[in-house]
Amino acid sequence: MSYTALARKWRPKRFDELTGQEHVLQALSNALATQRVHHAFLFTGTRGVGKTTIARILAKCLNCDTGMTPTPCGTCATCREIDEGRFVDLIEVDAASRTKVEDTRELLENVQYAPTRGRYKVYLIDEVHMLSNNSFNALLKTLEEPPPHVKFLLATTDPQKLPVTVLSRCLQFNLKRLPVSLIAHRMKFILDAENLGYETSGIRLLAEAADGSMRDGLSLLDQLLAFGGGRATEEAARAMLATVDRKQVEQLLKLIGSGDAKAVLSFARSLEEWAPDYADMLDEIASLLVQVAMKQALPAYEGDELHPENLLAELAAAIAPEDVQLHYQTVILGRRDLAWAPDPRSGFEMTLLRILAFRPVSGEGGRGVAAAGVGSGATRAATRSATPGSVATAQPTVRGELGSWPETLSALELGGAARQLAAHCALLGREGAVVRLVLDPAQSLLKTSALVDKLSQALAKHLGESVKVEIELAQSTVETPASAEQREVEATLSSARRSIDEDPTVRGFKERFGATVKTDSVKPN
């Protein structure tokens, strides 16, 4: 028994079976319902988004035996013959193979004659941009003054190549690339209906590889089912698509978060045995960084099939938001420059070294980028007075006794998430080699073993002796450095607003014109 490809077997036969393109379907449905159907339609868009499918359904809507309707019955002789590609009054033409003017004239010779069986004679011309200039000229007269029983349905992936004289005589509908979520949903629906097993992560990979095309996605699904023995799993999908294992990407980003250059480069070089595509590897890192940034901006974000929430929460706590942004920029620039590297592997490793070497810092003069130590387990330090766009050098270690926590924190060589952790802590005390801190439960995501270890190392370097930090989660009556800084900002802002209110000119505007001050726009100097 012959096998029918999924893209053909599950080709939509009604408007309500189509995935996406609602803006097109609504316009066509309304035109059919009100019997105001134009004589020429142009459907544009990339391959596999439904141009020809919509045109065939429209031909069915125009000629269904039950009457012209946006919901053809699908069971009458006309509907069945159109579905089977043998309806005599639906003339389908591939313009790519019939580009000559003689072909177009031959096609249009019978336009004047009434349809044989249907209500309308429908000409469906696919890849219409392939016609020659003379062919367009031959078609133009008919498009301008068509017989009442003729409809033209044109489809193209390159509308820029069509003469404006043709475009002006058609209703043009631009079909959009389909989102990954819609393609994945359609794949799952088909697999459920076919009673075939799958993993959602594997389907997600196929949907992303489809690049907006439903037909490409279903062709990939057919290939994966053959490759995976009737199951669509993530492992089989990655092997078939030759993509990197996401667990390797996750582990690499965790090591980057730790700041351990030796571990990062060692892991990167261990990937060589898998012969990875380093451009694809950088794409995967950038994609994961986007998900981490989403989690940091929206704590309730639940991730997707490839990026579970618990992983994103762990990475969001381990890497500071400003680091995530700089890492992303470094990765996409490294991806762009990969072709210019001596070889892909060295270009990939240099990108990782750039990630480890630089980080954003804030100071009295503004924000900038600071160089950081990239030795094994090195902490990243920079001057507080970095100017915008400057590169600051690491400062000498400051040694001293453990005094007040804000003073101690200002002397520590800490940055990023580790500094955020320390800033939200209050000092409980020191017992020998153990420094005990308390952290507000609302900031519990910052308490990770990697960040606590960084804080311990920075304290040990500051004190000149080995110490261990222990952090408990509890409300503290002692003001933390972070809350003190926030209080100072609010006090400065309040003072600035008072200055505005007390300004004679502002008072004059209030009294004379009834003006009000938008307090949200007031910023301290």
Length of the chain counted residue by residue: 525
3-state DSSP assignment of residue 429: strand
3-state DSSP assignment of residue 62: helix
What would the pLDDT profile of 418-464 be if each residue is shown by its tens digit? 888 999 999 888 888 889 899 988 888 888 888 898 899 888 888 88
Question: What is the reported pLDDT for 401?
Answer: 60
CA 56/CA 46 separation, integer angstroms: 17
pTM of the model: 0.58
pLDDT band at 371 (very low <50, low <70, confident <90, very high): low
Q: Is the pLDDT of residue 332 over 90?
A: yes
Q: Is the pLDDT of residue 381 over 70?
A: no
SS (H, E, C) 182-225: HHHHHHHHHHHHHCCEECHHHHHHHHHHCCCCHHHHHHHHHHHH
What would the pLDDT profile of 488-511 be if each residue is shown by its tens digit? 877 777 777 777 777 777 776 677
Q: Which range (220-229, 335-344, 407-416) has the least confidence?
A: 407-416
Q: Do residues 30 and 162 make contact, with C-beta atoms less than 8 angstroms apart?
A: no
Residue type for 149, please? H
pLDDT band at 138 (very low <50, low <70, confident <90, very high): confident
CA 245/CA 92 separation, integer angstroms: 44
Distance set, CA 321 to CA 353, 388, 417, 456 (Å): 19, 18, 8, 22
List the 468-473 sheet strands across, edge first. Answer: 425-431, 434-439, 468-473
The conformation of residue 122, written as its DSSP 8-state character, comes to: E
Q: Is the pLDDT of residue 187 over 90?
A: yes
| 364-388 burial code (b ≥16 CB/10 A, e <16) | eeeebbbbbbbeeebbbbbbeebee
CA 191/CA 356 separation, integer angstroms: 44
What would the pLDDT profile of 238-247 be if each residue is shown by its tens digit? 888 877 777 8
Q: Is the pLDDT of residue 234 over 50?
A: yes
Greatest mean pLDDT range, 143-147, 330-334, 489-493: 330-334
Distance, C-alpha 138 to centroid of its chain: 45
Residue 177: which residues within 8 A CB-CB, separation 6 or more?
45, 46, 49, 211, 212, 213
CA 218/CA 207 separation, integer angstroms: 9
CA 230/CA 222 separation, integer angstroms: 9
